[in-house]
Structure formats: C-alpha cells, structure tokens
Structure 1
C-alpha cells in the first residue's frame, strides 16, 4: 500500500515553546509504514537544540526563516498573510518576489507545493495540516490543499474567535471571524484542544467534522529520564541551592500571566491564602521555574513563606525537577477553554496537582476526570479560609490516577483513524 504524506505546518516545532509539544510527540507514534511526514517550521533560535527523531520514522523537518503574524511582524507582512487567506493562489504568485521576501508561509508553501506535486504524481495520497497559532500555519495549509486538491485538517491549539489570543477590539474580532471562516471553509476536519472550543466550532460550523484532540504527554520523555544522569545532577544541585532541607516542595513551571493575564489573579489569591495560613505554609517551599511578569515577581517577593524563582530551563531539566516535587501548582484564570500544555506534563510527572483557578474550565475537568489533583476556585479560597490548608494536608483526597487518554500514543491512534477516514472519503 502506498503511504500517506502529511504536510504539517507547525511554526513552533523547533522551539522550546509548549506549543511545540502538541505535534512533536504525536507524529512520531504514527505508523512509519503508512505515513511519510513533512514538517514546515521556523528556524530555531540561535543555539537551540533540534529534537531527536527515532531513525525508524520517515519524518522530514524543514526549518525556514521568516516572519509570522504577531508582535514581531510589520503591518505590510501581516496584510499579505491576511490577504492570502482570501486569495489562496496569492502566495504561489508571489513566490520569489521581493514583496514576499522574509515571509515564512510563502517560503513554506514553495517547498510544500513542490513536494506535494511529486507525491501526487507518484500516485500517493496527501493531507495538509495547519496548526494554530499563529494563523500563518492555517493559511498555508488551506492554500496547499486548495492548490493541490488534497484533504485539509485545521488544528486549533488556542481560540481564534472563542476566547482568542491577541488584542481585543471590534475590528480585530471581526477580522478573526472572517479569517477563521475562510481557513475552516476548505477543511475536511477541525480539531481543537478542549471541549469548550470544540463545542463552539460545532455550533458555528455545523457541517464540519470537529473533534477534540487534547494536548498530552509523551511517555518517552519521562522514561528517557532514567538514562539522563546530567539532568539528575543538575536537578540535585538546583534543589540543594534553593530548597531548604526537609521542605514540602510545591513546584510551578512555565508562564502565568504572560500566557493568560487573568491567571495572575490566581497567583495573587494563592500567595494571599498562604500568607494568611501559618499551618498551610509551614515547612512548605514554593519553587517557580520559568517566566514571570514583573508584577508576578513582586507578588512572590511578598510571600511570608519560603519561595524561589528560577529562570526558564530546558525541558528535560524541567521534567526532572517536576518529578522531585511533592505537589505541582497549576494557576488558571477566567478562560473556560484553558487546558495549558504544562498540565499534561504535570500528569505524567506523577505528583498531585493543586489547581487555583478563576473558573471551572477544561483543565479542572481533566484533573477531576483523571484523579490527578484538586481544584480550588479563587472565590472559594476567599470565603473559606481553611480551604487551602485542607487540600495541602498530607494524604488529602488521593484518588486513583488514570491518565492514559492523554498519552501521545493513544492520541496518535485517534489521529490515524481520522486521517484514514479523510483520505478515503
């Protein structure tokens, strides 16, 4: 049987961004006898280490320079991307011209178009996959699918219209709706990260097949730690330097308000509740590893219990540190769709998760479903002074954990079934 070629547009694939993990782990568990994968991504930052890929896989990662829509891009380059959402031949017409110089999705499409035509000429099947954010990937996938007449899957790690990233405003909201409608129009399937997002897509696009493809953890990342003596030594040194001996260690990893501004309020609630409860904070050390905003750093400095703030570390070391924690702290805000990527690494790390959240959301649902932790709403903490003390008590509410549904191995099986159905219909 001839293989299926996947043309995956994933701008973050070679970065340390949590967004990179969504497809990085997933694709390697597809059957190499059935799939050939081409990943179009942006060049990694200087000095960044490219991911290792198992030799058995037929995966080609194609890193390309260029700008994407966002804070770094000029108005002119953003307009070109937006225009391409509506005029799908445009990037192919502009390929090699000065107008498109330095625009990532034009470079990506130039290479994808050549490869896709080669595979189609050989009688093989092809599928385009776009992964948002940024929108450049969705635009590229839609353009390739339209030009080559192949199936297209559009994946939304975040909301473009429902609880969107980016700045508010009626004009931006209207533009997001138009772009989303356009990139979804030519797709055979929409996947998104959480139930609330998928429910919204199903309501607004009732004729489209839409499925939940949650974030997840890669079992290989955790089994491989047993062979990583360097990360073990570095983790030991960090803990010895920052954590008082005998402390109950609560760890938070990654960003808070830099990803979701409303989550900073949950940090403030946690600090205030810990300050107010001598029994909850006794013999506890809270370690923050990752990017905090200046305001968040000031909140942590106001803690009257033991804390430390570490700069971001590479992922293998972060996972090693997670495994040393007694509790893992998850802070979410007012976004119902929130199922932040760090949650799934928390699940696999094994320590019980304590979530402080503004609302019940996708992340809190996953904790309840898997038995991996407990949630306190900020409103609950405010009115019930002993709430935090209760959940931090030794042995409190240790449920049976079942996290299998969030393994990349299981999710790859789901993705395989969906893609197989797409190419057969």
Structure 2
C-alpha cells in the first residue's frame, strides 16, 4: 500500500511529515569505506525536518568513541558467529508473518540488540508525534533482517538499502545453494519495503525487474567535501608541473578481497606495464593479499606498500599522485566507493577492468581526461608511452559534473525520500 502511494504520488506535499529516521547500519562506526555510505547523508539531514538514530556494530573509528545521543553501538556477534540459541531465536521470529506487538528478543546477537533498540526508539518517536521510518543498509544481511522485523512489529514504513548486490552480482560464497539462499533472503527482506535504495543503475534495474511495482531509488555513494576542508579541492585544479616529477600511480583500499576477478585484472595491468617498460612508481595504500603482493614483487616494477593509513592521510596522499587507479573485475554493477574519494581528490583516474561497469560509465559521463583500460577490448589499452605522456600532462577535474556526488547535495534527495515515505504512511 505504501509502495503504491509513493509510486503515484511522487510529488505529494511533505512539509508536515517530520520523519524520524531509525537507521540500522552495522559498519557505520567502522571507519572503512562502507561507513561513508551514510556518514555524510545523516550529517546533512536538516534536524528541523528529521530526528536521526543510528544503530551500529562495533566502533573502531576514534570519532565515535565519545557519547553521541544519535548513536547506539553494540558489539554483539553477527548471526554467522552467534550461538545456536541466538540463531534459533532470530529464525523463529523470521518465520512469523504476522505483526508481533510483543516482539522482544533476548539472545546474544546483533540482530536481537538492534531490534530492541530500534523498537524502543520508534515508540519514543511515536509518543513525540513523529512519523518513524526504519531503514537498513546491506551488507551485512543482519541489518536488513532486523529492520524488517522492526517494521512489521511497529507497523512503520521500511526502506532497504543495498550498497552491494545480494542476489545480483553478489561477492560472497559461490555455488547454486548459496545463490538460491540469497534470492530467498533478498525477497524476504524487501517484500514489506516501501522503497529500495541502491548505489548503481544496474542494481536499480535488477530490483525494478525482480520486484515489479516496487519503488527503487538511485542513491549513489559520494564524498563529503566539507569533512576535510584542509585537503579540499581548489576551484580550479591543474597539474601542470608533472613533467618535472616521477610518475606515481596510487591505489587505495582492497583489491581482490572485494572481488576475486580483480586479481586477474591486476595481473593484466601489471603485465601491460612490464611489457611497455613502465618506469614510474606504483604506491599501494591499504591491505593487500599475499597473491597480490607476489604479483607486484615478481613484476620488477617500482612498487611501494604503505599499508593501512588514516582516511585524512589517504586523501592527502591521493592528491600527490599522478593518477589514481581503480581495479575492477567482471561485474557490471560495480560503483566502488573509492571512485568518489578519487573524484574528490581531483586527480586523474585510471580504471583497469575486464568489463564496462558503472564506474567506467560514471567517468565517461563526467567527460574529463580520465583513462579506461578495458582488457576485454584490446583497442582500449593505450601503449605505455601514450599512457605516460597523458599522465605527465595537466589535468582539471570538472567540479560541476561531480557536484551531484557531494553528500550535502545527496542529503537533500535522501530527505525527500524519507518525507515521502513518512507522508505515505499517514
């Protein structure tokens, strides 16, 4: 019913809805790239229109150590690591299809603690005359499960967010059994959802096709330009002095631990550089696997391994590179979070991939002088001397073209989604 109202009343008045967001985001306090999905969005939500309450997993980022009234942090185990009794409790409640006003979970699992915390907050918001909306972001699946249990128990609208695919191009365990389980779980968690939000156009098409009639909104990952003003881009950014410098190509974050096919992309990229006698430097910031390190060490190229660095340090280092590389595999829906950090840094981006994907389409639409090396199309691979010449040249990022990825801009779209969902419930 809510979904239908949203679909046919996309521009209904929303000024009086005053929705209260209860967000289940397990990685929110982790400090990794996944945590950035909602960090900026909730930061810029106008508090005169929204109250915000975030339920997170363990806090590993220093900025979350102090008490925050908008944040509930719980370190209980995810379902995959919980006790048999805790798992059984969750499965038993999942099997209930009716509303359960007396739902109160006792087991030692993050789902149980999240459900109880969310319900308490929602009941408090209702008592204050607010219109609560419960929302969860995948991964892990635990957040989506908990949000559905809460939405049904409290009879409030539900938004399910996917920053990764669950049934579509999932990066988890392979095999027909796990594929079937992911389809079943996805259908279960989105069935009562008023809106599905996700990060890429292929994922939007997947949800629209799979769940006909569901409202699906594209909510890109992005960057927070005000989070680190000391490393923010100047209005016009050019690198005209690169001819006096050694070429440095920087990679930030994980490679094949995010998608196995990216290991082959790395091998292809390194092979192309070796064959072309590339004499620049490759710098890797983040944790690499032993296989990745072996490929780099055996290449004979000038490679340095910086390990994990603080996000502020990473952004500062990004600005010092001649180019920033993204390695993707064969997935169509990839819009890796680091592309937005790279766009924010302002330097030229080099994508090495085995297939056209959302990341390559984003760069093509921006229209700057970035580099796409698609190894499924040999004609797209420039000779190393051509690549070097380009990397030595000046580069200017079109700031107007990337403004839509700024969290302060995206938060306005997010606010409108919340207000329409809340209004449809009234």
Q: What range is the shorter-chain TM-score in?
A: 0.7 to 0.9
Tell me if the contact between 1:252 and 1:288 (Cα under 8 Å) persists in the aligned partners. Answer: yes
Quickly say closer, same or farther: Cα 1:13–1:356, change in 2 above 3 A: same
**Does the alignment pair 1:28 with 2:38?**
no
- In structure 1, C-alpha distance between the alignment counterparts of 2:294 and 2:315, rounded to whole Å: 26
Matches within 5 A, 1:259-338: 259-278=258-277, 281-282=278-279, 284-338=280-334
Q: Distance in 2 between matches of 1:176 and 1:384?
A: 35
- Using the TM superposition, name which of 306-315 and 352-361 deviates more: 306-315
Among 93, 96, 100, the alignment partner of 1:87 is 96
Q: CA RMSD in A?
A: 2.5
Which of 349, 363, 370 is residue 367 of structure 1 equivalent to?
A: 363
Stretch moving more, 137-146 or 164-173: 164-173
Corresponding residue pairs, total: 393
CA apart distance, 1:19: 0.8
Determine if contact 2:375/2:381 at 8 Å carries over to the other structure. Answer: no
Q: TM-score, normalised by structure 2?
A: 0.86
Structure 2 contact 285–305 (Cα < 8 Å) conserved? yes
Structure 1 residue 221: deviation in Å? 2.8
**1:81–1:136 Cα contact (<8 Å) kept:** no
Q: 1:49 aligns with which of 42, 62, 65?
A: 62
Q: Contact 1:260–1:333 (CA<8 Å) still a contact in 2?
A: yes
Question: Any conservation in 1 of the 2:147–2:158 contact (CA below 8 Å)?
Answer: yes
Contact 1:371–1:400 (CA under 8 A) maintained in structure 2:
no
CA distance in 2, matches of 1:404, 1:77: 45
* Separation (CA, whole Å) in 1 of partners of 2:143 and 2:225: 27
Cα distance in 1 between the residues matched to 2:254 and 2:198: 21
Q: TM-score when scaled to structure 1?
A: 0.86
Measure, in 1, the Cα distance between the counterparts of 2:119 and 2:316.
Answer: 41
Cα 1:386–1:172 shift into 2, 3 Å: closer
1:234 aligned partner: none
Of the three residues 182, 186, 189, the one matched with 1:180 is 186
Superposed displacement of residue 85, structure 1: 3.7
Pick closer, same or farther for the CA change 1:85–1:130 going to 2, 3 Å: farther
Cα gap change, 1:390 to 1:142, in 2 (>3 Å): same
Does structure 1 retain, via aligned residues, the 8 Å contact 2:276–2:383? no
**Distance verdict in 2 for CA 1:167–1:79, change over 3 Å:** farther
2:167 to 152, 161, 165: 161
Any gaps of 5 or more consecutive residues in structure 2? 1-15, 233-243
Partner of 1:109: 115
Partner of 1:61: 71
Q: Does the CA-based 8 Å contact 1:85-1:183 persist in structure 2? A: no
Q: CA deviation at 1:324?
A: 1.2
User: SS at the partner of 1:160?
Assistant: coil
Alignment correspondent of 2:336: 340
Partner Cα separation in structure 1 for residue 91 and residue 165 of structure 2: 17
Q: How does 1:180-199 map to 2 (within 5 A)?
A: 180-199=186-205
Aligned-pair CA distance for 1:385: 6.8
Distance 1:76 1:106 in 2: 12
Q: CA deviation digits over 1:237-282, x for unaligned, max 9? A: xxxxxxxx9421110000000111111111111111111112xx23
1:348/1:2 Cα in 2 relative to 1: closer, same or farther (>3 Å)? same
Instruction: Find the aligned partners of 2:153 and 2:380 in 1 and give their Cα distance.
Output: 59
| Cross-structure match for 1:233 | none
Change in CA separation of 1:400 and 1:287 when aligned onto 2, cut-off 3 Å = closer
User: Kindly tell me: are residues 80 and 213 of structure 1, through their superposed partners in 2, closer, same or farther at Cα, counting changes over 3 Å?
Assistant: farther
Are 1:410 and 2:409 matched, yes or no?
yes
CA distance 1:384–1:334, change in 2 (3 Å) = closer
Q: Aligned residue for 1:248? A: 247
Find the aligned partners of 2:348 and 2:228 in 1 and give their Cα distance: 16
- Of the structure 1 ranges 5-14 and 246-255, higher mean CA displacement relative to structure 2 is found in 246-255
- Output the CA distance in 1 between the equivalents of 2:153 and 2:30: 29
Q: Give the deviation of 1:310 after TM superposition.
A: 1.4
Alignment partner of 2:63: what SS? Answer: coil
Going from structure 1 to structure 2, the CA distance change for 1:26 and 1:271 (only over 3 Å counts) comes to same
* Distance change (3 Å), C-alpha of 1:332 and 1:80: farther
Aligned to 2:44, the other structure's residue is in SS state: coil
What is the SS of the residue equivalent to 1:258? coil
